[in-house]
Amino acid sequence: MPESTCDSADVGTDELVLDSQDSEVESPIQTNELNLSFTELSASEESDGDSESDDNLSANVNHSLSAPDVKTHSGPDWSLQFKDFELGSHFDKNIVTSLEALENISKQIDAPSVEKKSQAETVRLKRAELLSKLKRKVHPDYIDLLIKENNSQQFQDWHFLRNNATFIQCDIWQEFIGKRKKQTMPLEELMLAFGVPSELLDPHFKIEDISQYDPLNKLVPVDVMCDELVKYINDPRFTQYFILFILDRKIFQSIECTTDWCTRVFNSISLSKFINTYLDVVPRDCFFLHFRTIRQIPQMQELLLTCLFEKISQDTLVARLKDLLSARQYQEALYFTLLIYGSTYMPFGKTRTSEHLSSYLFDQYDDGNHVELTIIRSYINLFMKIK
């Protein structure tokens, strides 16, 4: 058994040296292969008399696996030499560029954490601002609804009545039996009692902000306000307050403030006075409120268009509509379209002008991101079907 072990070790040593000598000299790392089985190695370890062979084997292995000789230099001529290694055909040479791109993406992903924090701060401030404007306690879901809505502006409008109403309606029966006399007050005090802020009652006041949220203030019944307001029709400030009153969103949407009532009041006022006051109060380019005006007083359409444009014609109106579209004022373009159609300048029906506008909108403004453009096209196509 010992002889067999020594022979195996000698053979392994010879093969080991042979492999080391036959290996490629150009390779930076010498690789060797040991053709020894685990049983042979274990047998050689159990042999006490073959320690010399084991030492020779270890020496040969260490010598064959040792790194090439490195010459050290001293003095000023010493320098480091770098050598490019063969990385293989499957190595991605653009890996550094890819890593840099990955790092940039990682930075961009981490950046929104600061942006999200700033957005959260903006939402918090906006919530506090809305709560300060509301006149009564509301459900938090309503505040969230107002904050998240930022495209259609459906909750923003013109509000003339912003404070809680303090007006006390006189009981008719109490007045009839003489227990309570009907109170009379100046028109300004009446408007304050209805909930109008004092700054909006200035003689030179002009609408500049139509992006206010509903303050959810307490209101007097609209029919009561209409009945009380019309009693001051001869007051010199009545026309201004009447215009501001009927343009208020809550009044406009109420069923009590009817087109018939607004038209009757309009006919009771001097036409020149009404037009002059209206143009002093409502901006000329606020087509949103102009359209609301002709909804309340339909006979104002022709007169209003004539006052807004010095030389009015169909071409003038079409050019103005295209200017609004070019300026991306899509909401104003929508209300301008509703304002001009149905007049003598832009009649209903299938006209060349309407066909041109429909094709123009389809070709030039095929943008699905703006719902107003789709609505404008739909309205024009609808107007062309009206005979």
Q: What is the pLDDT of residue 8?
A: 42
**What does the radius of gyration of the chain's CA atoms come to, in whole angstroms?**
45
Residues 321-348: what's their mean pLDDT? 94
The better pLDDT of the pair 280, 101 is held by 280
Of 7-21, 127-141, 295-309, the one with minimum mean pLDDT is 7-21
Rounded Cα distance, 300 and 86, in Å: 87
Dihedral of CA atoms 366, 370, 371, 373 in degrees, nearest 10, equals -50
Is residue 88 over pLDDT 80? no
Rounded Cα distance, 306 and 271, in Å: 14
Residues 114-126: what's their mean pLDDT? 66
Residues 308-320: what's their mean pLDDT? 94
Closest CA to 23 of 65, 83, 84: 65
Rounded Cα distance, 131 and 282, in Å: 28
Residues 76-92: what's their mean pLDDT? 60
Q: What is the pLDDT of residue 145?
A: 77
Half-sphere exposure of 175 (CA within 13 A, CB side): 7
Rounded Cα distance, 207 and 174, in Å: 40
Q: What is the pLDDT of residue 227?
A: 94
Is residue 75 over pLDDT 80? no
Residues 242-271: what's their mean pLDDT? 96
Rounded Cα distance, 220 and 284, in Å: 31
Is residue 16 over pLDDT 80? no
Rounded Cα distance, 74 and 307, in Å: 98
Q: pLDDT over 90 for what percent of the chain?
A: 48
Q: What is the pLDDT of residue 144?
A: 78
Residues 283-303: what's their mean pLDDT? 96
Which ranges of the chain does DSSP label H, i.e. alpha helix? 2-22, 38-46, 51-65, 95-110, 112-133, 140-148, 172-176, 187-194, 222-229, 238-246, 249-253, 259-267, 271-281, 287-296, 300-308, 314-326, 330-340, 352-364, 371-385
Model confidence band, residue 18 (pLDDT cutoffs 50, 70, 90): very low
**Which contiguous run of DSSP H or E holds residue 284?**
none
pTM of the model: 0.66
Contact 160, 247 (CB under 8 A): yes
| Cα torsion 146, 148, 154, 160: sign | positive
Closest CA to 245 of 286, 298, 281, 204: 281
Residues 104-120: what's their mean pLDDT? 61
Contact 49, 3 (CB under 8 A): no
Model confidence band, residue 2 (pLDDT cutoffs 50, 70, 90): very low
Of 38-52, 227-241, 290-304, the one with minimum mean pLDDT is 38-52
Residues 119-144: what's their mean pLDDT? 76
Computed over every residue of the chain, the mean pLDDT equals 78
